[in-house]
Copies of this chain bind each other. A is one copy, B any other.
Amino acid sequence: MIRPVKNWTTTTKVDIEMVLYGILGVDEKSQTVTSHIWVTKYWTNEFLTWNQSDFCGIDEVSVPKEKLWIPEIIIQQDASDDGSIHEDPWVIMRPDGSMFTFLRQRLTFTCRFDLYKFPFDSQVCNITFISMNTVRSLVLGSAINGSVLMVTSTQFMITQGEWGLKDIELVSGNITNGWRYHSTLSYTVTLDRKPFLYVINFIIPLVYLLFLDLASFSISVDSGEKFGFKVTVLLSISVLLLILKDILPSTEVDLPVIANLCVAVFTLVWLSVLESMLVSFLLNLDPCCDKESKKIYMKKDINVHKEAEEENGQVKPEQSFFPLGKLGDVELLKLILEEVKAARQEAGCQKKPRCYRRVATIIDNLFFVGYLLTFVAFVMHICFGWMNL
């Protein structure tokens, strides 16, 4: 079909009007956006004009598309299926030769995502209409100006899903594949993610768990719940990782803040488990030094008994209790005293002496301070990452 111009050097101007009906979905993994658009193309056919009064005032005629030249315009980022396009089979003509046709499309287009601030990110995507003709013969323009564009889009947008339309802008330009220039019309669509589900589902639980771990420093090791508590916190974070896997694509060289958050929280909790193990280990060392003191005691104990044996001469070994009968009150009391003392000392041994405990306490406190500082610095870093950049 020949381009409908009387002189072939005349450039045909095609005006495009795109209305964004809805954002159906955004796939971060494949970096595509699925939307629902209506596109109207306006142009002029220099041969098809009529005098309205000659034809009973008819001011509009529909003609099947295949009878006429239709500007071939594609979308550069389009990765849709064929079946997603519903083209109106008619072209509508006006007496002055202006014609228009329109199509509806469930458009899936590729878009370079920047997920650094996920889930508080905005994405800027281009929908670039490219004429298949060269720029000399066909120039694209916009049927409506930019200020009206945003208003109509907001008005027509049906869906209110995860993504809100923040801004939509128009840029005309050219594109070249080296030796041929094509006219382009770019709609720059800025989408705003509504982050609440991610906040509720991932960030809040993660931060809460970090707080819990911070608070778990107050649990004493002796309570027998510290490790269990901390490892359950770690398990909860593992469960949250199952959520992260589904929402975050493995995309960035430049790590998203939320990935930092996740790794940092996991690492902090992990370090605090390790530290509490170290502390517990040090506290358990004390009974050893205690054992040494006990050994001394035991030696003495033996000595005492030896002494007793020496003193009483005929005293049989501890195992045979008969000779006790020959002891006096005083010796018996002495033995009782020793027994009671020994019992108390053994019981008291439970309360570990302070040799390693002090070291453990110092480590614990130092670590806690470090943890707290890291925590504060980290939270500030995260907030800074999400707020300012």
Contacts and interface: CB of A to CB of B under 8 A. Distances in A.
Contacts of A342: 344
A239 interface: yes
A386 interface: no
Given A34-B30, A205-B238, A252-B194, A200 B259 contact: yes
A90 B112 contact: no
Given A64-B1, A77-B158, A218-B278, A270 B208 contact: yes
Nearest to A319: B300
Given A273-B212, A325-B330, A197 B250 contact: yes
A113 B161 CA distance: 8
A145 to B, nearest CB: 13
18 contacts: A1-B64, A21-B79, A22-B31, A78-B86, A162-B250, A193-B250, A196-B253, A196-B259, A200-B244, A200-B262, A220-B280, A223-B227, A225-B225, A227-B228, A245-B246, A324-B337, A327-B330, A332-B333
Interface in A230-264: 231-236, 238-253, 255, 259, 262-263
A347 interface: yes
Contacts of A228: 225, 227-229, 231-232
A64 B78 CA distance: 22
A266 interface: yes
Interface stretch (A54-62, A165-173, A372-380): A54-62
Contacts of A34: 30
Interface of A: 1, 8-9, 21-22, 24-25, 29-32, 34, 36, 40, 56-58, 60, 62, 64, 72, 74, 76-86, 88-90, 104, 106, 110-113, 119, 132-134, 137, 158-162, 177, 193-198, 200-201, 204-205, 208-209, 211-212, 215-216, 218-220, 223-229, 231-236, 238-253, 255, 259, 262-263, 266-267, 270, 273-274, 277-278, 280-281, 284, 296, 300, 303-304, 307, 311, 319-322, 324-325, 327-344, 346-348, 351
Contacts of A223: 224, 227, 280, 284
